[in-house]
Amino acid sequence: MKLYNVKLLTITCEILAQENIIEILKKHEITGYTTYEVDGNGARGLRGQGLKNEKNVKVEVIMREEKLQDVVEEISRTLFANYAIVLYVSDVGVLRPEKF
């Protein structure tokens, strides 16, 4: 089995920033992603309780390294200042690199 190296970008953010992130992904021609609602605690206190609009989501995107730079740059430039957001990148292996 041959695994190809690609990057996994994981973004945990408030649910109201989700749309902005997906827009940025779209701009960079990335259409595949996975999101799920999560709870947690962080710099802005316990999140995920109460109003729906105050929940957190986790967005996972697999992409090639070439695109990663631009995407991360744009997210940090446009969203870091105003939204509750945490972002990290990990190396993952996939079987079908042509999908990403």
State which residue, 17 or 25, has the beta carbon closest to other proteins: 17
> If we measure between CA atoms, which residue out of 8, 36, 18 comes closest to residue 83?
18
CB closer to other proteins out of 46 and 92 = 46
Q: Angle CA(63)–CA(15)–CA(38) in degrees, nearest 5?
A: 80
Q: Which residues in 26-85 contact other proteins (CB under 8 A)?
A: 44, 49-54, 81-83
Residues that bind other proteins in the complex, under the rule CB under 8 A: 14, 16-17, 19-20, 44, 49-54, 81-83
